[in-house]
Chain A
Amino acid sequence: MSRILIWDIPTRIFHWSLALAFAAAWLSSLDNRFLYAHTYAGYAFLGLLLFRLWWGVVGSRYARFRAFAYDWPSVRAYLAALATGRATRYLGHNPAGSWSILFLLALGLMVSTAGVLVLGGEEGHGPLAGYIPFQAGDYAHVVHEAGAWLMLAVVTLHIGGVVIESTLHGENLVRTMITGYKKNPGGPGAGVRAAGTTGAILLATLITAGLIYLKGYLMETPEQPYVPYSGPMLPDNATWRSECGDCHLAFHPSLLPVRSWRRMMLTLSDHFGEDVALDAGTAAEIEAFLTANAAEALASEPAHRILASIAADQIPLRVTDTVYWKRKHSGIDDKYWTAQKVGHRSNCKGCHLDADAGTFEDAGMRLPVSAAADASRATSSNP
């Protein structure tokens, strides 16, 4: 039986890479800690879509948009025929498939563009960092998530369509998207060129970009964990750091509002049970630094979130008393709190690699591995 090349190499690489990036983006979105992997999946996704737009113009016959520009009547006719089980076999995309793909392309562009806005607005990362207000990032987040769910629905339809059509025409369309070949129906309509060079360049670009982006993770050691960070560093002050950091982590001013720091400085003679009174000059310098860079300065995502979570009549003296902190840490198993590396709720550094800097990056979170190992050993050794 003769066969005919329908999908050129770049189209196939695009398809499976996009599916992989989509899955990776979904999985890495389930925990904030994987933000960095999520971001790479998103950049790859956006890059692939832009490539596809270009390939839709210059690619081979069935990859071109011209080959799947069907009007609504032909989609309706195709679906009607499908309902009776007598749908026409198309060598390229069928009308319904074409529409779902165009819809996925548009949705994908929207979701990944919104993602870059979220990254710039909420995290202060990426190409738009500093240009997007925090609130705008929050709005983009809604679009980003709604779009992602909608895409998931369309992907499900797309897979359903592939299964139906494969059954209907006795032709494994998944294998077609891997090999590129379909059964030759005969008659006019030649196969396409493979375009291997473009495919090789596409694949090399994806892999190289990934290696460069995730290089830090590949090179990290247990002693030197990697904290990807591309946002602005928060203000620092040597006196604050040494005086406050003697007995506990120097909690960055951005973690509590001005009113909390004012009260803290007024009550140093009974600072959580300890008299830590400072001389007037030192106290004045520290208070100036604390109030100038308090949560109200909105220099980081935690500052925004913590501030928004405190009722106007509350003056929390512990970061761990704020609603946002409690919500963010509610799901954490006790075994991590009692791990030797943590030990105390105020010991942010036990899990947050960048606690000293006060940035509290999503990707800077590492649950203590030894705690998990200890706990599992304890469980398994139980009779």
Chain B
Amino acid sequence: MKIPYRLSFALLGSLIFTTCNAATLDDVLDSYQAAGATTFSAARGETLWTTDHPDPESPGKVRNCSTCHGKDLSQPGRHVNTGKEIEAMAPSVNDKRYTNAKTIEKWFTRNCKWVLGRECMPQEKGDVLSYLRTK
């Protein structure tokens, strides 16, 4: 089969891009295991994602990940304080998700502190990512 010259570059580019994305997420997961995590479980990740935690600012209220990201991960979320739209978390509808290790760490650090009141363990982060990548 003869593939047009330009199309061959496009195909090659998208192949490299896809591989790199998967590589980023796998690299991140590998780094968590290197930091002491064992095997990852999407089910544990889902539990962590949906567990309520007390809101230190308003007694009686709770926070969880869907407070800002919404219940349906294929839909955009909304920042609970500012109302700004947050792009969908599901990689199936948002291919920019989980493509940059630095960004992944930044948001884990920030949002674990807000929801849990502490930073997440490598095991927890790996579980959550394993859950999110299936969406």
B110 A275 Cβ-Cβ under 8 A: yes
A residues 232-249 with Cβ under 8 Å of B? 247-249
Does chain B have a CB within 8 A of A272? yes
- Which A residue sits closest to B107, measured CB to CB? A246
For the complex formed, measure the closest distance between the CB of A75 and the CB atoms of chain B, giving whole angstroms. Answer: 65
For the complex formed, measure the closest distance between the CB of B114 and the CB atoms of chain A, giving whole angstroms. Answer: 6
A273 B82 Cβ-Cβ under 8 A: no
> How many residues from B make CB contacts under 8 Å with A?
10
A247 B84 Cβ-Cβ under 8 A: yes
B81 A273 Cβ-Cβ under 8 A: yes
Give complex CA distance A276, B79 in Å: 14
Return the contact of B84 from the options A248, A272, A275 (Cβ within 8 A): A248
Return the contact of A249 from the options B57, B84, B109 (Cβ within 8 A): B84
Does chain A have a CB within 8 A of B59? no
Task: Label chain A's interface by main secondary structure.
Answer: loop
For the complex formed, measure the closest distance between the CB of A272 and the CB atoms of chain B, giving whole angstroms. Answer: 7
B83 surroundings in chain A (CB, below 8 A) = 343-344, 346-347
A346 B82 Cβ-Cβ under 8 A: yes
- Please name the 4 residue pairs, one residue from A and one from B, whose CB atoms are nearest each other, closest first: A248-B82, A344-B83, A343-B83, A275-B113
Residues on A lying within 8 angstroms of B by beta carbon are 247-249, 272-277, 343-344, 346-347
- Which B residue sits closest to A249, measured CB to CB? B84
Residues on B lying within 8 angstroms of A by beta carbon are 57, 79, 81-84, 109-110, 113-114
For the complex formed, measure the closest distance between the CB of A72 and the CB atoms of chain B, giving whole angstroms. Answer: 67
For the complex formed, measure the closest distance between the CB of B107 and the CB atoms of chain A, giving whole angstroms. Answer: 9
- Which A residue sits closest to B55, measured CB to CB? A273
Return the contact of A247 from the options B82, B109, B113 (Cβ within 8 A): B82
Given contacts A247-B79, A248-B79, contact A276 B110 (CB under 8 A): yes
Return the contact of B82 from the options A275, A276, A277, A347 (Cβ within 8 A): A347
A344 surroundings in chain B (CB, below 8 A) = 81-83
B81 surroundings in chain A (CB, below 8 A) = 247, 272-274, 344
Give complex CA distance A276, B114 in Å: 10
21 residue pairs of the A-B complex, CB under 8 angstroms, read A247-B79, A247-B81, A248-B82, A248-B84, A249-B84, A272-B81, A273-B57, A273-B81, A274-B81, A274-B110, A274-B114, A275-B110, A275-B113, A276-B110, A277-B109, A343-B83, A344-B81, A346-B82, A347-B82, A347-B83, A347-B84
For the complex formed, measure the closest distance between the CB of B53 and the CB atoms of chain A, giving whole angstroms. Answer: 14
Give complex CA distance A56, B114 in Å: 74
Give complex CA distance A277, B111 in Å: 11
Give complex CA distance A276, B113 in Å: 9
Give complex CA distance A273, B110 in Å: 11
B57 surroundings in chain A (CB, below 8 A) = 273
Give complex CA distance A207, B79 in Å: 48
A343 surroundings in chain B (CB, below 8 A) = 83
- Which A residue sits closest to B102, measured CB to CB? A279
A275 surroundings in chain B (CB, below 8 A) = 110, 113-114
